[in-house]
Amino acid sequence: MNRISRRLAFTFISQIVFVLVALAIGTIIFLVYVGLQLESKPETQHVTSRSNSTLRQTFSIENGHVSLDANKISDIEKREEWLQIIDAHGNMLASSKLPSDVPTHYEAGQLIAFWQKSIPFPYELIISQEEKGGQTYFVVVGQKRPARQLAEKLPIEWDGKRLSQQGERLLEETHGTLAIYSANGEILQQYGNVENPQAKLSLDHLLGDEADQLRNNGSQYIHFDAEKQQTWVIEVPFAAVKVGEGKHNTYLGKAFLLYGVALILFIIATAFWYGKRFGQPVLYIVNFIQRLADGNYHEQEVKKKDKSLNRRGKKKRSFRLFREINDSLNELNQQLKQNEKLRKQIEQTREEWIVGVSHDLKTPLSSINGYAHVLESAPYNWSQEEFQQIGKTLREKSTFMSELIDDLSLTYRLKNNALPMVRQTQEVNEVIRRAVIHFINDPQFTSYDISFHASDEPISYPLDMKWFTRIIDNMISNAIKHNPTNTKIAIIVQKESDHYFTVRIQDNGIGMDSSTLDQLFERYYRGTNSEENTSGSGLGMSIAKQLTVAHGGEIAASSTPGEGTVIVLKFYS
């Protein structure tokens, strides 16, 4: 469990670190991209003369001559901006889209005055100082003031009576206003939210410090239509962006919106990945446990495809994380399946046991019941010989029933390890010899050739005299009972090594088939027929095996039909 806990901790931490690193890398890439995009769009407010990487790329020096980069210049021209390359003496070396009202040479303070708006200049300026080839160059980028730029576009959208929808859209995009006055100063039309509109326009309203300031920062422009004798007052808020670049107003908003959508998709994908990687194995384990709880131990075997395996038949990486749990569940499944099989076998054996016991008790009881009916029937003068025969039969049947009950009790005590055994070190050859002599000297077994072969060396082994003798008795009795007369039965003791010895009971009788041999030591595999010798209980071989195991030994049998049977008892020192 320590291994799986460490593996789980390492896996979860590493995955979280991976996700955080991926998120950090994505965020850095996004910020770098946004920064590059912003840098490629010159600012219109609060500019400095420091080097600008985008403007630096607009020109190059070849053999002392300035060459403009067509691609970079194209981007500037699309924004309706113009560009100049100025040397340290204020002389223009190259230009693009330069208006006629822009100087080609600047005095030392003139360019700075235009840039700082300390003197009127109709353009917003960006100045970038660049060093190339050991020389200092200045890149000047200009764009018309917002109000003036708007003033050049609005007259085109005027039809003499009102602005077109495009004109109104231009005003809306720049948050600008338009007031049109007649020759006598009366207001004719106004668009946008005009603050403090003048009922009658005069020079006092168009001149003065406030009006000059508005025009100097590009927020106001006065357009006079000489043909119609109309005065247009166009105003744009000071912080408004340039006309023609309205599409860039929402650039940052769109960029962050895109980043937010990407972040949400990343979180959803990560959650789905985590759910599939860690949830699928857990669900598999839960279903496995539920299946075991329902007693279904074979479903996995009949399934064509195991979800925990890949195409090559190996465990998927996500399932390998819980391999100890999977292995334990598989072992549990096998154990439960084996227990279920054993339970069914025990159930079947129990039923056969009951059938066998019923048969073995019913047969002698039938004989006893028959003789009882005869004795209680009409008076009959029984001879002495007939009485003896009846008494002998009743004794044999009652003895058989008593032995059967004793054997049933003995086999259950052995099964539950409840049989008291007093094991003392004895000489094995002598114990077995006494048991064999009992059969040799019994007149009813004289028709069988019973022999005993002791080991060359004495064998000492801790055993219970009573129960060890019972093992040998049961083996010999079984050989006598199931073989015809004149069968040779040999009991051979042999010391195989210093660690174990064997007791072999072999005969040349009728033998057994494989089915009988497989169930030789099972209880009641063959019931006792009352027409045969009733001295046995039908539990002899089962009891012999249990007693052998109780003495620390093991038992094995081999047999060939028509040739005989060999049973080997092996005991370890």
Q: What confidence tens digit (pLDDT) does each residue in 291-327 have? A: 788 777 665 544 445 566 666 666 666 666 667 777 7
Q: 3-state DSSP call for residue 138?
A: strand
Which two structure tokens, joined as six digits, stand for 524? 């009641």
pLDDT at 551 (0 to 100): 92
Helix ranges (H only) for 441-464 are none
Q: Identify the residue with better confidence: 150 or 452.
A: 452
What is the model's pTM? 0.41
Q: Band of the pLDDT at 505, cuts 50, 70, 90?
A: very high
Strand ranges (DSSP E) for 214-344?
220-225, 230-235
Q: 3-state DSSP call for residue 538?
A: coil
User: Where exactly are the structural domains of the chain?
Assistant: 52-143, 148-237, 424-572
Average pLDDT over all residues of the chain: 79
Between strands 230-235 and 220-225, the pairing is antiparallel
Q: What is the pLDDT of residues 243-294, one digit of tens each?
A: 334 444 456 677 788 888 888 988 888 888 777 777 777 777 788 788 788 7
Kindly tell me if the per-residue pLDDT of 560 is higher than 70: yes
**80-84, 99-103, 166-170, 241-245 — which is least confidently predicted?**
241-245
Which two structure tokens, joined as six digits, stand for 96? 């693009």
Q: Identify the residue with better confidence: 482 or 3.
A: 482
Residue 278 gets which letter from DSSP? I
| Under 8 Å between Cβ of 138 and 86 | yes
CATH domain 424-572 topology:
Heat Shock Protein 90 (3.30.565)
Kindly tell me if the per-residue pLDDT of 10 is higher than 70: yes
- Backbone phi, psi, residue 258, to 5°: -60, -40
CA 382 to chain centre: 89
Q: Band of the pLDDT at 65, cuts 50, 70, 90?
A: confident
> CA 273 → CA 5, 15, 127, 259, 323, distances in Å?
21, 11, 51, 20, 20
**132-146, 289-303, 324-338, 389-403 — which is least confidently predicted?**
289-303
pLDDT at 378 (0 to 100): 61
Instruction: Name the most confidently modeled range: 180-184, 211-215, 399-403.
Output: 180-184
Mean pLDDT, range 501-517, rounded to an integer: 92
pLDDT at 6 (0 to 100): 72
Mean pLDDT, range 562-569, rounded to an integer: 95
Which among 224, 222, 265, 531 is positioned nearest to 397, based on CA atoms? Answer: 531
Mean pLDDT, range 69-94, rounded to an integer: 87
CA 280 to chain centre: 5
Distance CA 30, CA 39 (A): 14
Residue type present at position 108: A
**217-221, 383-387, 390-394 — which is least confidently predicted?**
217-221
pLDDT at 245 (0 to 100): 41
* Residue 125 burial (10 A CB sphere; 0-12, 13-18, 19+): buried
Residue percentage of the chain with pLDDT more than 90: 21
| Under 8 Å between Cβ of 85 and 59 | yes
What are the residues whose beta carbons fall under 8 Å from the beta carbon of 467, sequence distance 6 or more? 419, 421, 547, 550, 551
DSSP H or E run through 515: helix 514-518
84-118 b/e (C-beta count within 10 Å ≥ 16 → b)? bbbeeebebebbbebeeebeeebeeeebeebbeee
| Under 8 Å between Cβ of 537 and 470 | no
Distance CA 45, CA 344 (A): 91
Which two structure tokens, joined as six digits, stand for 14? 């590493």
For the domain covering 52-143, report its CATH number. 3.30.450
DSSP H or E run through 450: strand 449-453
Q: What is the pLDDT of residues 517-555, one digit of tens each?
A: 887 887 655 543 334 444 445 678 888 998 999 999 999
